[in-house]
């Protein structure tokens, strides 16, 4: 990697405003699921305008309401104030049309882990946006280089793998695709640091760092539960006290969303063919039954309307 590139030169080349810190003044976030909401909230909380794009008005209203409820829970915990909530929401502008993203310096897609959906989004945006616009995917496991190949700006396609809950986890993996330029990496790194994140530079490989390492742990914990080795609470207590984990693996899976965890496992198993990524049958059954974890009120544990464990 080149080491003599200056940030100022990069910003000039990308036609960004020097007087806007890193030149990023408006960011589009496409897809307002759990991750998209967290990304939008984090960006807005650091003084940057957000164009939040959903597929229709009904979905947009539902996700904005969900975001408000999440922030209200933080207010009840005294970790946020009402004025901070108002400031964040004032910077998030809902939309259902990709045309609203055209004026943004950066576009972040955070839709479901579905390659074709992500590819179509990037292809459509590629024809609409200025050549200097940076495209970011929040994918956990999919091939960024293939996504970049669907555009005419492969050097400006990069990954930002945020972890849930986005506002609280201080890490982001910035993932280089095969043709991602140094300029794009440095601009996105500076943007991530502006959001208060510690950046780990990652070179594309299925699962990157965090997902490929956490998935076998989650899978093995689910197998241990299925085989009756211990209760769900017993497994999590053992890992929390034995290895100083903040959350046990089963509670962590519930927080991530069991459907998302299943999608990661299937993608990694398909890409790498290693048995450690083959989803546990118990996980498949729970997803079929609609037990998605905290977001559905039940997974390996049960949760109340505030997202706290009730059983």
**17, 145: one domain:** yes
**19, 98: one domain:** yes
**171, 282: one domain:** no
Domain with residue 78: its CATH number is 3.40.50.720
The pTM for the full model equals 0.85
**136, 239: one domain:** no
**46, 168: one domain:** yes
Total domains in the fold of the chain: 2
**177, 233: one domain:** no
Closest CA to 139 of 162, 165, 123: 162
Give a yes or no: residue 307 inside a domain. Answer: no
Confidence of residue 22 (pLDDT cuts 50, 70, 90): low
d(CA 147, CA 131): 16
Domain termination site, one of 169, 203, 237: 203
Domain termination site, one of 183, 203, 223: 203
At residue 285's C-alpha, the angle toward residues 309 and 119, to 5°, is 95
Domain termination site, one of 203, 236, 270: 203
User: Dihedrals φ, ψ of 14, to 5°?
Assistant: -85, 5
Beta bridge partner(s), residue 101: none
- pLDDT tens-digit readout, 100-113: 999 899 999 999 88
**Structural domain boundaries enclosing 181:** 7-203
Confidence of residue 18 (pLDDT cuts 50, 70, 90): very low
pLDDT of residue 16: 45
- pLDDT tens-digit readout, 152-203: 999 999 999 999 889 999 999 999 999 999 999 999 999 999 999 999 999 9
At residue 156's C-alpha, the angle toward residues 1 and 181, to 5°, is 10
**Taking 80 as the threshold, does the pLDDT of residue 264 lie above it?**
yes
pLDDT of residue 13: 54
**Sheet with strand 92-95: strands edge to edge:** 92-95, 49-53, 26-30, 106-109, 134-137, 157-162, 171-176, 198-203
- Average pLDDT in the chain: 91
pLDDT of residue 61: 95
Confidence of residue 9 (pLDDT cuts 50, 70, 90): low
Domain with residue 222: its CATH number is 1.10.1040.10
CB 134 within 8 A of CB 99: no
């Amino acid at each position: 990697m080149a080491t003599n590139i200056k940030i100022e030169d990069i910003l000039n080349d990308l036609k960004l405003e020097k007087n806007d810190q890193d030149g990023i003044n408006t960011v589009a976030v496409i897809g307002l699921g759990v991750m998209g909401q967290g990304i939008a909230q984090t960006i807005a909380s650091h003084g940057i305008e957000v164009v939040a794009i959903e597929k229709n008005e009904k979905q947009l209203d539902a996700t904005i309401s969900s975001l408000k409820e999440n922030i209200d829970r933080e207010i009840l915990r005294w970790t946020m104030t009402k004025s901070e909530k108002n400031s964040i929401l004032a910077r998030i502008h809902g939309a259902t049309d990709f045309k609203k993203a055209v004026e943004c310096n950066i576009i972040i897609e955070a839709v479901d882990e579905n390659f074709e959906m992500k590819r179509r989004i990037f292809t459509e945006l590629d024809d609409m946006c200025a050549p200097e616009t940076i495209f970011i995917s929040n994918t956990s496991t999919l091939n960024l280089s293939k996504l970049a190949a669907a555009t005419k700006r492969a050097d400006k396609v990069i990954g930002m793998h945020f972890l849930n809950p986005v506002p609280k986890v201080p890490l982001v993996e910035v993932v280089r695709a095969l043709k991602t330029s140094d300029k794009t990496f440095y601009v996105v790194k500076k943007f991530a640091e502006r959001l208060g994140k510690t950046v780990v530079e990652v070179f594309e490989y299925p699962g990157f760092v965090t997902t490929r390492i956490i998935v076998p742990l989650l899978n093995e914990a689910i197998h241990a539960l299925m085989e009756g080795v211990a209760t769900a609470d017993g497994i999590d207590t053992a890992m929390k006290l034995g290895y100083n984990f903040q959350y046990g693996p089963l509670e962590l899976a519930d927080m991530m969303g069991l459907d998302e965890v299943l999608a990661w496992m299937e993608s990694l198993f398909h890409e790498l063919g290693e048995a450690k990524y083959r989803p546990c049958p118990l996980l498949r059954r729970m997803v079929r039954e609609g037990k998605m974890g905290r977001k559905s009120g039940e997974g390996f544990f049960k949760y109340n309307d505030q997202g706290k464990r009730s059983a």
